[in-house]
Chain A
Amino acid sequence: MKIHQLSVFLENKPGQLTEPCRLLAQGGINIRTLTLADTEEFGILRLIVSDWEKGARLLEEAGYVVNVVEVVAVEVPDRPGGLAELLAVFEETDINIEYMYAFTFGRGDTAVMIFRFNKPDAAIERLQAAGINVVGSAEVYSHIEK
């Protein structure tokens, strides 16, 4: 149920984003979604790609520092209150959301979001118990059908 996310350390200056994207393109790897966390000095590029092992290898071989962590993709109803209801599942638990970001596509009337939990297994358990759809890795790495 968990998905591998690549995190790449970048310095916060113009042009830093181009090279990793080009490397992945040359390797025939598709970027499913990405987000960039930035501070004044550096940024962390977080990527979900079609082939995370090859992607990590290509970036590392080019000298990038790549961290691989497991994140969770969750379907969120695309209507007012959809996300609030989902987050309510974690109330009064010690599950913490480190960060989250959206997929560029959804299916039907739902959006798909990526969550980085401090305890991914516990989070998945609670989500499923609440009847919320956790999207599998195969679907995310290839593409999500409507």
Chain B
Amino acid sequence: MPDIEHDYSAEMHPASALDYLPVEEIHELQLRRLQATVSRAYQRVELYRQRMEERKVSPAEIRTLEDLTRLPFTVKSDLRDTYPFGLFASPLEEVVRLHASSGTTGKPIVVAYTRQDIGVWTDAMARTLAACGLGRGDIIQNAYGYGLFTGGLGAHYGAEALGATVIPISSGNTDRQIMVMKDFKVTAICCTPTYFLHLLDRAAQMGVEVQELSLRVGVFGAEPWTDSLRRHIETAAGIKAYDIYGLTEITGPGVGIECRCQAGLHIFEDHFYPEIINPASGESMAEGEEGELVLTTLSKQAMPMLRYRTRDISAFLPGPCPCGRTLRRIRRISRRSDDMFIIRGVNVYPSQVESALLAVEGMLPHYQIILTREAGLDQMEVQVEVTPPVSSDRVAALENLHNKLAQALHQTLGLRVKVRLVAPQTLKRSEGKAQRVIDRRNI
């Protein structure tokens, strides 16, 4: 890789220097940090010590990066079981920030940051935004929610560290978002892809042509989305849309990001060590093979995570990225292992439904899947919000649309499902995140 530094140094943001480290240096750094993290977790967190003793592994036995696979996994219920502070490896006196997940299923999970942890997160987020081609002079509208949700403050600190101008507008109040985007000549927006779609709809209603505005980059995440949706967004808004990855348990947004090649997400490996495993056996998968993404934090103090099972399905992409970054890439996550549901014996992922809907011309994927059980039989209904381009004054046109959607779903899923057209903005959204599946089968 002799030419890489030369080719890209001109456009390389200073914050991104670590993205281009020679692989051997990354490995050295990773091992040093892993050993420190494992020692810290073992000495300070009861759960980790117990689990490691059960597996008869001590911190001193972690001599290579491969030894990582001897460590126990950590799962989401571990965070719930130790709620609120049970996994902290720092005394509260050293903790400067707490965040929590939205907790749509039971108790929320709580995460902690020392001042250094905030620095690590800020570094990862600054490099994230730099990878999307942003820097000084950019005006970033941060429409992730500010609060317990990590999205808002994570993107905020990163954007400031990068030297960009941040508009901390938070989520909601779409009309004001559009006014600000237009009047402040915003060049980039951070939000969920679903919320951006809503913003585009609303802008069209208000007579604002988003394509004509200064907006050129969208950093979209916090929910899985498909490549078909990316193409739709890029065309409709005249921007580049980047997929950002992160999760509260590991740090928040900024674990991984697409570069301008949009060919997989680079993981900030100097802070977060990725593995892809077989979700059933726990064995490591070969490069290119699909499996569950597992992450270990390498730089965090207050809440180190050892082999955290993300439930997100991905694969390592082989070969170097043309952008010159030496950070490994994972395929973008379009589904989670716990997203899948089984209906009449068929495995279904919400991302399949999204692709099917987008295949119908002019359709926007504001949809929700409702699962019910009638007389012992599973029923699946897909509710789709009607938008101006597909609406009509003619019943026949809407029934035709309805039939096309039903047909597209049948073809993709291999099973007949009920389609229902609903009025705009009637499907539930939380913190800008779309709730894709409502399962009423057990109620």
Contact = CB atoms under 8 A, between A and B. Distances in A.
Interface of A: 5, 7, 9-11, 16, 37, 39, 41-42, 44, 46, 60-61, 63-67, 69, 98-99, 116
Contacts of A63: 424-425
B388 A65 contact: yes
Contact of B395 (A11, A37, A60): A37
B205 interface: yes
B139 to A, nearest CB: 27
A69 B387 CA distance: 16
B438 interface: no
Interface in B398-420: 398-399, 420
A63 to B, nearest CB: 5
Given A44-B395, A67-B388, 10 more contacts: A7-B391, A9-B391, A10-B423, A39-B395, A46-B393, A65-B386, A67-B393, A98-B396, A99-B394, A116-B394
Name the prevailing secondary structure of the B interface residues: loop
Nearest to B394: A98
B421 interface: yes
A98 B394 CA distance: 8
B369 to A, nearest CB: 17
B422 interface: yes
B392 interface: yes
A146 to B, nearest CB: 30
Contacts of A99: 394
A61 B388 contact: no
Given A11-B423, A39-B399, A41-B420, A67 B392 contact: yes
B393 A61 contact: no
A40 B388 CA distance: 21
Contacts of B420: 41
Given A44-B398, A67-B391, A9 B205 contact: no
Interface residues of B, number: 20
A11 B399 contact: no
13 contacts: A5-B393, A9-B421, A9-B424, A16-B423, A37-B395, A39-B398, A42-B421, A44-B392, A44-B398, A65-B391, A67-B391, A98-B396, A116-B393
Nearest to B423: A11
B425 A42 contact: no
Given A11-B423, A42-B421, A61 B205 contact: yes
Contacts of B395: 37, 39, 44
B211 interface: no
B435 interface: no
A39 to B, nearest CB: 6
Contacts of B422: 11, 42
A69 B392 CA distance: 9
Contacts of B391: 7, 9, 65, 67
Contacts of B392: 7, 44, 67
Contacts of A16: 423
B398 A42 contact: yes
